[in-house]
Amino acid sequence: MVGVVVNFEVPLFGGGVSEGVVRVGETVRRPLRAHSPAVHELLRYLESVGFDGAPRVLGVDGRGREVLSWVPGEAPRVPLPPYVGSEEVLRGVGRLLRRYHEAVAGYEAPDGAPWDGETSNLDGEPEVIGHCDVTPENVVFRGGVPVALIDFDLARPTTRLFDVVTALRHWGPIADPADRDAVLYQVDVGRRLRVFCDAYGLERELRRDVLPTAQVRFERSYRVMRARAESGGGWARMWPGSGQRIRRAQDWLERNWDELDACLW
Ligand SMILES: Nc1ncnc2c1ncn2[C@@H]1O[C@H](COP(=O)(O)OP(=O)(O)O)[C@@H](O)[C@H]1O
Ligand SMILES: [Mg+2]
């Protein structure tokens, strides 16, 4: 019998931002964007240092799409499955982010690399190329264990703290309960911030800056997302809901500030 391999294009949905993300066999095809060369260099560096928690770049296909390796496992989608809310998973994500930061620490990105994210110094002198979008949908799990980060579209030079805070926005989550996924609706966010920071190994002296950084980040996200929405596409579809969610999260953070801050120590 002659074996025939037919590679169907299976549409993938995650953060709902990128249109045209498909799986083809053991690869993922995504539209090439202005920042793709910067991300590809980053992913190549991660491969060169043997970091296994990110996809590999395999090239560009005949239709001008980037070709990445399919990372085996499961990336959660909303509604999030129950295991995403466990503390063991939270610790695993903290450790994974730490491993990523250690792997990327030696990377010197070319000057003027076309990162997508705004690289203002609001978050401090850059230390690493942060992932900057560690949502549940951008983490691949195997056997319930977080093993890889995907979707490096928002990667850019930043501080480790900023990347931690971005992860906490989603994994705390630092969000109004009304905007949380069901599995995270009733969680003890203060405790989860602590568990994540401990698993990451966030230095004590940086912990006092976690909530102020979250505040700065919310303001900037609001501005950046509004600007992106004005340019159309996936971001426009998510606005104004995403802007309103940020405002509610800011209010919730203000209301719970002291209690959350006390948990971080
Ligand atoms: N390399 C990969 N390995 C495994 N799954 C992937 C990979 N790339 C994307 N996916 C899946 O496709 C979804 C959408 O892809 P993603 O790159 O996150 O695009 P976006 O969030 O911009 O829509 C992800 O949440 C994940 O479920
Ligand atoms: Mg994504």
pLDDT along the chain (265 residues), means of 10: 72 79 96 96 98 98 97 96 97 98 97 80 83 97 98 95 97 98 97 98 97 94 90 87 97 98 96
Q: Which atom of ligand 1 is nearest to the CA of 69?
A: 1
Asked whether the beta carbons of 146 and 180 are under 8 A apart, the reply is: no
What φ, ψ does residue 26 adopt, rounded to 5°? -95, 25
Q: 86 and 27: one domain?
A: no
Q: How far is the CA of 181 from the centre of ligand 1 (A)?
A: 19
Whether residue 107 sits in one domain with residue 46: no
In this structure, the answer to whether residues 53 and 110 fall within a common structural domain is: no
C-alpha 257, offset from chain centre: 24
**Is 74 part of any domain?**
no
Q: Evaluate whether residue 229 is within a structural domain.
A: yes
User: Is residue 75 in some structural domain?
Assistant: no
**Domain boundary pick from 18, 35, 69:** 69
User: Is the distance from the beta carbon of residue 137 to the nearest atom of ligand 1 less than 6 Å?
Assistant: yes
Cβ of 150 less than 6 Å from ligand 1: yes
Q: Cα–Cα distances in Å, from 247 out to 19, 117, 133?
A: 26, 20, 19
Q: Is any ligand 1 atom within 6 A of the Cβ of residue 15?
A: yes
Residue 222 lies in a domain: yes
Residues 63 and 87 in one domain: no
pLDDT of 256 reads 98
Range of the domain at 18: 9-69
Same domain for 125 and 251, yes or no, is yes
Total tally of structural domains belonging to the chain:
2
The answer as to whether 3 is a domain residue is no
CATH code of the domain containing 151? 3.90.1200.10
Give 204 Cα–ligand 2 centroid separation in angstroms. Answer: 31
Is the C-beta atom of 12 inside 6 A of ligand 1? yes
Q: Do 164 and 227 have their domain in common?
A: yes
Of all protein residues, whose CA lies closest to atom 2 belonging to ligand 1? 70
| pLDDT at site 134 | 98
Residues 65 and 108 in one domain: no
3-state secondary structure labels for all residues of 205-249: HHHCCHHHHHHHHHHHHHHHHHHHHHCCHHHHHHCCHHHHHHHHH
Asked whether residue 138 falls in the same domain as residue 255, the answer is yes
Residue that the structure tokens 């996809």 belong to: 55
256 within a domain of the structure (yes/no): yes
If asked whether residues 41 and 160 sit together in one domain, one would say no
Ligand nearest to the CA of 137: 1
Nearest to 83 by CA among 153, 130, 141: 141
Helical residues (DSSP H) of 116-209, grouped into ranges = 160-171, 189-200, 204-207
Residue nearest to atom 24 of ligand 1 (CA): 14
In a domain, 210, yes or no: yes
Does the CB atom of residue 18 touch ligand 1 within 6 A? yes
The reported pLDDT for the residue numbered 14 is 74
Residue 224, pLDDT score: 87
pLDDT given for residue 89 in this prediction: 98
Note whether 100 and 165 are same-domain residues: yes
Please check whether residues 100 and 144 belong to one and the same domain.
yes
Residue 139 lies in a domain: yes
Question: End of a domain among 19, 38, 69?
Answer: 69
| Final residue of a structural domain among 69, 90, 108 | 69
Let me know whether 164 and 238 are in one domain: yes
